[in-house]
Amino acid sequence: MKANLSVSRHDTISVVDKRLYGSFIEHLGRAVYDGIYEPEHQNANNDGFRVDVEEVVKELNVPIIRYPGGNFVSGYKWEDGIGPKEARPKKLDLAWRSMETNQVGIHEFAKWAQGVNAEVNMAVNLGTRGIQEAVECLEYCNFEGGTYWSELRKKNGEEKPFNIKTWSLGNEMDGPWQIGHKTADEYGRLAAETAKAMKLVDDSIELVVCGSSTSTMPTFGDWERIVLEHTYDYVDYLSLHCYYGNKEDDLGNYLSQSLDMDRFIKTVVSICDYVKVKKGSKKQINLSFDEWNVWYHSNDQDKEQAPWQVAPPLLEDIYNFEDALMVGCLLITLLKNADRVKIACLAQLVNVIAPIMTEKNGDTWKQTIFYPFMQVSNYGRGTVLTPHLTSESYKTKDFDEVPYIETIAIHNEEKEELVIFAVNRSEDTSIAFTFEEDGFEMESISEATELAGYDKKDTNESNHELVTLSIKTDVVLENDIISTIMKPLSWNVIRIKTK
Ligand code: AHR
């Protein structure tokens, strides 16, 4: 089988907003406690955070991290997590039916995020709380001084404002499982008034309003329209969430689900633009795909967890090789839509549906999905080039035409390189892949790697990282054309030095 990708310097999608490579840490399971924070661990720093975990997080180069939830935020009192640690209350977390010790709060998390070179995307509680608490949280975080809340921040050890620029207005408020679940009109009104008041405190912030929690919600479409009709003038981004899983063990169909993500994004863009026209607005609302990943492996084991534990092992999906390919397809899809998707968060970062796992008192290790995310986050910076692809296709349960190759190329002007990301979805056939460009001068191949040759169900584990990158040795640059063989079920990254 053959496939060709051709791009031009003069035919581009968008410059990538670096926040496309964001992630997410929720007070959930072992993400915070016994994840990034484990004061008794031999690698913990003076603040109780694990330095070995920080080092692995840094490899992912995540520029923004959403915090503190997720479903958790809809019952959270941010004030419980400030002040002397010994005085912080233990509370029931109703979202995950766990015990929250509040040993980590805004101060600790902001400092940790800074240490891994990430901004915080702070979510406020619009489930059980409202305008006043959101405004006070913002004043506490961003106001210089001289007010009750800003002086309290100083008293609690932080002289300078945290200066958090991206704020999320609640979480999945369309979901009946959400604490404080609302109708689109109820949420839209509350979000609009909260946004208005927050921008009065600090007009430099950007706000994300909740879209649907999946595209399969019965309210999908109407929810986006109604919420935007209320909030359009006050917010900057609309959120999307989506998780995939190979529940039916149908790999061809599973890997085709990036087409579902693409359709989801395009549908939401059209709703945003419909409301823009209806309102006669000049402003464009962009998208924050602030929860995306594979999530299904841990669903059954989670039902067995007893309630009210501190840091129970919840949502600990162990990812296999096919999940890494799926994450690769989803990353390419986000890049294809980089003109409208400006923020995205791999959900989540540590232990909870995560690329990074930790053992209590033990090691940290990388899941299969770590690799495609790490490579796209590090090398997928610059301008996305419109892909012109010829590839044979196959038919699945959900899609009539799925190209065997999923691919995209980026031009990084600063580093003078072209980078190709590609997945071969075929389970049994290699693809002779060629790449042609117009407007660049390709000089040499600087690096070529693949994830390939594994059994589709292969996983990594502590002290045994079976699925890792290997060097691709067959990539050739000749007569301005790159050629290589993409193995069946493979993730491929080719970096080309340009003149
Ligand atoms: O990421 C796990 C959960 O998935 C989040 O708390 C929630 O927003 C979503 O349903």
DSSP assigned state of 227: H
Q: Is the CB–ligand 1 distance for residue 35 below 6 Å? A: no
Q: Are residues 21 and 166 in the same domain?
A: yes
Residue 104 backbone phi and psi in degrees, to 5: -115, 130
pLDDT, one tens digit for every residue, the chain (499 residues): 999 999 999 999 999 999 999 999 999 999 999 999 999 999 999 999 999 999 999 999 999 999 999 999 999 999 999 999 999 999 999 999 999 999 999 999 999 999 999 999 999 999 999 999 999 999 999 999 999 999 999 999 999 999 999 999 999 999 999 999 999 999 999 999 999 999 999 999 999 999 999 999 999 999 999 999 999 999 999 999 999 999 999 999 999 999 999 999 999 999 999 999 999 999 999 999 999 999 999 999 999 999 999 999 999 999 999 999 999 999 999 999 999 999 999 999 999 999 999 999 999 999 999 999 999 999 999 999 999 999 999 999 999 999 999 999 999 999 999 999 999 999 999 999 999 999 999 999 999 999 999 999 999 999 899 999 999 999 999 999 999 999 999 999 999 999 8
Tell me if 93 CB under 6 Å of ligand 1. no
Is ligand 1 within 6 A of the CB of residue 317?
no
- Cα–ligand 1 centroid distance for 213 (angstroms): 9
Residue where a domain terminates, one of 340, 358, 379:
379
pLDDT at 463: 87
For atom 1 of ligand 1, which residue has the closest CA?
A: 347
Last residue within a domain, chosen from 329, 354, 379: 379
Domain with 317 in it: 17-379
Residue 71 C-alpha to ligand 1 middle, in angstroms?
6
For ligand 1, what atom is nearest to the CA of residue 28? 6
User: Ligand 1 centroid to 238 CA: how many Å?
Assistant: 16
Residue 52: give its domain's CATH number: 3.20.20.80
Say whether both 374 and 413 belong to one domain. no
What's the sign of the alpha-carbon dihedral 77, 78, 83, 84? positive
Q: Is 172 in the pocket of ligand 1 (CB under 6 A)?
A: yes
Cβ–ligand 1 distance for 211 under 6 Å, the answer no
Per the confidence metrics, is the pTM higher than 0.95? yes
Which of residues 312, 344, 379 is at a domain's end? 379
HEC string of 462-475 equals CCECCCCCEECCCC
Separation of 476 CA from ligand 1 center, angstroms? 44
Tokens 């910076």 locate to 381
Q: Answer yes or no: do 86 and 232 share one domain.
A: yes
- 327 and 209 assigned to the same domain: yes
Rounded distance from Cα 129 to ligand 1 centre (Å): 19
Instruction: Please indicate, yes or no, whether residues 373 and 481 belong to a single structural domain of this protein.
Output: no
> Mind listing the pLDDT tens digit for each residue in 334-363?
999 999 999 999 999 999 999 999 999 999
Total domains, the chain: 2
Active site residues: 172, 291
Q: Residue 286 has what pLDDT?
A: 98
Atom of ligand 1 nearest to the CA of 69: 6
* Amino acid identity for residue 105 in this structure: G
Verify that 323 and 407 share a domain, yes or no: no
Read off the pLDDT of residues 162-213 as tens digits, 9 standing for 90 and up: 999 999 999 999 999 999 999 999 999 999 999 999 999 999 999 999 999 9
What is the CATH number for 440?
2.60.40.1180
Same-domain check for residues 275 and 225: yes
Same domain, 136 and 183: yes
Q: Do 266 and 337 share a domain, yes or no?
A: yes
**13-71 tens-digit pLDDT:** 999 999 999 999 999 999 999 999 999 999 999 999 999 999 999 999 999 999 999 99
Ligand 1 pocket check for 166: Cβ under 6 Å: no
Q: Residue count of the chain, please give it.
A: 499
The SS3 call for residue 377 is helix
Q: Are residues 389 and 372 in the same domain?
A: no
Rounded Cα distance between 415 and 420, Å, is: 14
What separation in Å is there between the alpha carbon of 169 and the centre of ligand 1?
15
Ligand 1 and 372: CB distance under 6 A: no
Residue 127, ligand 1, Cβ within 6 A: no
Nearest CA to ligand 1 atom 7: 70
**Among all chains, which residue has been given the structure tokens 């602030």?**
290
pLDDT, residue 102, reads 98
Instruction: Please calculate the CA angle 283-288-289 and round it to the nearest 5 degrees.
Output: 145
Q: Residues 6 or more apart from 396 whose CB is under 8 A from it?
A: 250, 252, 253, 256, 402
User: Are 45 and 188 in the same domain?
Assistant: yes
Residues 345, 325 share a domain: yes
Residue 175 alpha carbon, nearest atom of ligand 1: 10
